[in-house]
Amino acid sequence: MATSPHRPTGDPQDITAHLVDQALGHVFAAALRTAAHYRIADHLAEGPRTVEQLAVATDTHAPQLRRVLRYLATRGIFREDTTGAYQLTPAAQPLRTDVPDSLHSAVLMMTDELFLRTSAAMPEAVRHDGASFERIFGAPLFEHLLTDPAARRLFDDGMASLSAPADEAVAAVYPFPETGTVVDVGGGRGGLLRAALRRHPQLTGVLFDQAPPLAHHLLDSDELKGRWRTQEGDFFTSVPEGGDVYVLKHVLHDWPDDACRRLLRTCRAAMAAGRRLLVIESVLPPGNAPHFGKTMDVAMMAVVDGRERTADEFATLLAAGGFRLTRVLPTAACPSIVEAVAE
């Protein structure tokens, strides 16, 4: 997300510059997408290179590329040295495709036309109390993805990229049982399940989702052999029974409250009393302080008619689904762990 390097001081000219900078946030997104598209970070992995060298390597126009990189450098994405060559910065490292927890695919997904057009139509979402995505593309996001394989692959790649840092953070902080079965409901490619199974060698798991993400799951390794299975299905209809811990990671925020209540009741029907449910989501803090969840909340409103929630809102939602919220655990990443018990 584009942000101004400072808060306005109150001077009229400073306020004007700040607001104009914020209004041009879409330009920053486009510049970031351009760098990701041409894999500039990969070309800088072995050291600084001039714009002319980068232009040859990426088959781009050097003067135009220079303008994009100069702009990104003002936000800490790349840095121009005294010789005029560009180099990686800590903020640019995750744009590489060959590093752990790469955000390259996530950037391409979030800056894609699917989401830029949807965000541009946000005034309509506010007027009509519903996501603008369906009005633009003719179907809700998840229905659209079923009919557009390229968009589906972009979405799955992007979500896997975006989720990777959180997967390890959740697995590191939550005390999963040493034995038993974790059921990852709507778990995508299974990054979180993989992280949990790696940390607990006697634990088994079920990855439950639709066919497209399951086709590219991340569980097929010698280390995890014989300890997992995948199952295809619709989590509004039923989920696998008999698990000890059920996980909903970045699932509830995709849906309005009524749909979440249906999903939670489906999970509760598959669970024995006393079993645990982990909801991995941003938990919105009060007040005016910036928080990634507040950004995502507005994005979800436009794209899928979903929302981020406060701890009290989670407690109410969970109670309606047959659960009691027991605690909220922060992680080293953006989402928190909302733990609940089936009653």
* Residues forming the active site: 253
Residue type at position 61: H
Q: How many CA atoms lie within 13 A of 145 on its CB side?
A: 19
Alpha-carbon span 192 to 75, nearest angstrom:
31
Alpha carbon 217 to its chain's center: 17
Alpha-carbon span 167 to 27, nearest angstrom:
31
Alpha-carbon span 131 to 305, nearest angstrom:
5
Cα–Cα nearest to 40, from 5, 9, 20, 64: 64
140 — phi, psi (to 5°)?
-60, 160
Q: What is the DSSP string of 250-307?
A: S-GGGS-HHHHHHHHHHHHHHS-TT-EEEEEE-BPPSSS---HHHHHHHHHHHHTS--
In contact, 287 and 259? CB cutoff 8 Å: no
Element (H, E) at 339: strand 336-342
Cα–Cα nearest to 185, from 140, 109, 243, 224: 243
Alpha-carbon span 215 to 221, nearest angstrom:
15
For tokens 């749909």, name the residue: 259
- First vs last Cα of the chain: how many Å apart? 40
Strands (E), 143-227: 180-185, 203-209
Cα–Cα nearest to 326, from 274, 270, 255: 274
Alpha-carbon span 311 to 275, nearest angstrom:
20
Q: Report which DSSP code applies to 152.
A: H
